[in-house]
Structure 1
Amino acid sequence: MHRTGAQFRLTCGPQTAVAVELGGALRHYAVAERLVVDGFDADDPIEGGRGQLLLPWPNRIGNGRYRWQGRELQLPVNEIEHANAIHGLLRWTSWQAVEQADSRVALATTLWPQPGYPFHLVARAEYALDRQGLTVTLTARNVGDTPAPYGVGQHPYLAVGPGTVDDTLLTVPALTWLQTDDRGLPVATEPVSGTSHDFGAPRPIGPQWLDTAFTDLRRAADGRAVVRLAEPSGAYGTDLWLGEGVDFVQVFTGDTLPEPHRRRSVAVEPMSCGPDAFRCDTARVRLEPGAQHTLQWGLAPWRGQ
């Protein structure tokens, strides 16, 4: 038995992807010899949120304390140095395969009522490969009898080639970024225009430290917004597209990670809501009994001409 549990391997032409039982995380994605996702080995500890599913909230909740329908609720504080509850409750649970084929797997788990989150959800993560790339669909359904606060995201790191992220060309199609305090909690929203957070046109990340949520996403006619990471010469890159249910994206350059991970790859995290959403009501979902929420995103690796 691997430390990350059962391994679910997908193939489609030269593409391979692996999801794991532990937390339903995305461990690996590559096209032939080119690594697209900077993941982890089957027996490695999962560090830095690498590839993990973030629900029933992504990002942080200050002090882990929030108010819901007149009740004060307290979540476990697991970002000790900043006194936050971070990245949800299902990262370390077992997700079981409920459907599986050569190029597709669907994993599912149950979030049982518990202190701090007394709500009952069933969650599903589907990974599917086709000729365009990898599509990830995350759904949750409230099977309890009371409305539940809900948010969701995922934490893939995208490989950018040898060296650090400094020379990587980044494009983020967002009009607004969230300014945060030293705990990573939002204090203001600001237009990106004219600031160091404006990646509306591709430019090198350089030495800039990013652990930043963006919103007001510019979408194409198909409804998708696309974050692009490109190798400096334009020879190859990866588009991470943001589809249904994605209203925010977090970009993290890994400055706080230990070596050898520091600034080695860029986390691009699709999210339904921003940081501290349970306390700030920022795009938080109210999931009614019997209701279902869907978030979809994907990866499309490309090569230049």
Structure 2
Amino acid sequence: MCQTRTVGEFAVSAGDYSAVVVSQGAGLREVRHAGRLLTESPPVRPDEKPPLSAGLVLAPWPNRTADGRFVFDGVEHHLDITEKDRNNANHGFVRTVEWSLYDATERSVTLGVPIGRHPGWPFDLTLVVDYTVDAATGLTVTSTVTNSGDVRAPFALGFHTFVRAGDAPVDDCTLTLSAAKTLPLDPERQLPQGDPVPVDDTDGDFRSGRALAGVWLDTPFTDFADTDGRHVTTLTDPDGRATELWTDTGFRWAQVFTADPDHDQGFPGRGRAVAVEPMTAPPNALASGDDLIVLEPGQTWSGEWGLRHRDSAA
């Protein structure tokens, strides 16, 4: 069985890889390779919400829904406003609740939660997330969502993952992101403002790698290059050692965010930090329908993403 550090906290390992997962929000608290951090590791208790939602699952929608309003199958729904200063419903329902333990071994932990009915959400879904570490391939996160109700249901999924290249300061690292487009956002409400635009000849082009010194981002990226059925993003330290975040092609989006004290959102103990958040759909997808997953009663959807260490010679 996996090691239980405290109630609701699970440590798994295989070879040089290890990870810590908590039951609140099914949060990924840290991933390491040979002791070197591949994610930020916030110093909080298992039952505390981590800073800036680090490592939490975002469902049944990631990011923002404008005014908490969406129309599905001809019916208008009004979600609770959780980002009051921007009048948005943000990041779904599951990131602050206690998930149930489905299974645990030395290498894996599986947690699940019913996404039951909430104000403005008359749909019954069940979400299961499995975190597995492998000595050769690192961490793999497998998510499965099932429509357990009797009507069609919309769904989108994200993970608020802060990547880290060991102890290297973010400003000493290079981000390589294979996305060919970004989605323009209204700077006041962080909502989509038009269609995705090419990154060519812009500051949003990270396809060949770009140093993060002085860069501030809170940007949705899409149109990723397909590398053997995966979208790959890397954060590389000055010695060429990289933390690689990959997703399957079902995660068509990633929100990249730089925590920054100069923007009143520093990451505790680090100051500057970078999140690469895999998402199946863009901001405001419940309202726009863009890349929204629709599940019939009894239907199941599954997707994978993961993290691994890559040496400079790899």
Relative to structure 1, the CA distance from residue 259 to residue 38 in structure 2 (aligned partners, 3 Å threshold; closer, same or farther) is closer
Unmatched segments (≥5 aa) in structure 2: none
Corresponding position: 1:292 with 2:300: yes
Corresponding position: 1:20 with 2:28: no
Corresponding position: 1:114 with 2:118: yes
1:184 counterpart (190, 208, 211): 190
Corresponding position: 1:153 with 2:158: yes
CA contact (8 A) 1:160 1:265 kept: no
Look up the match of 1:57.
61
Q: CA offsets per residue over residues 195-245 of structure 1, 9 Å max, x none? A: 10000101202212111111111011x2001001101231x1111011142
Look up the match of 1:243.
248
Look up the match of 1:7.
9
Relative to structure 1, the CA distance from residue 41 to residue 167 in structure 2 (aligned partners, 3 Å threshold; closer, same or farther) is closer
2:257 counterpart (230, 234, 252): 252
Amino acid at match of 1:193: D
Matches within 5 A, 1:1-305: 5-41=7-43, 43=45, 44-130=48-134, 131-162=136-167, 164-182=169-187, 183-188=189-194, 189-220=196-227, 222-234=228-240, 236-255=241-260, 256=263, 257-258=265-266, 260=268, 263-305=271-313
Moved more, 146-155 or 249-258: 249-258
Paired residue secondary structure (2:259) = coil
CA contact (8 A) 2:281 2:291 kept: yes
Q: CA offsets per residue over residues 252-272 of structure 1, 9 Å max, x none? A: 111342453675321111110
Q: How many residues align?
A: 301
Moved over 6 A (4+): none
Amino acid at match of 2:96: W
Q: CA RMSD in A?
A: 1.8
Q: CA offsets per residue over residues 177-197 of structure 1, 9 Å max, x none? A: 001002111112210111100
Relative to structure 1, the CA distance from residue 156 to residue 281 in structure 2 (aligned partners, 3 Å threshold; closer, same or farther) is same
CA contact (8 A) 1:238 1:301 kept: yes
The TM-score normalised by the length of structure 1 is 0.94
CA–CA separation in structure 1 for the residues paired with 2:271 and 2:64: 21
CA–CA separation in structure 1 for the residues paired with 2:294 and 2:272: 37
Unmatched segments (≥5 aa) in structure 1: none
CA contact (8 A) 2:39 2:164 kept: yes
How far off is 1:51 after superposition? 0.2
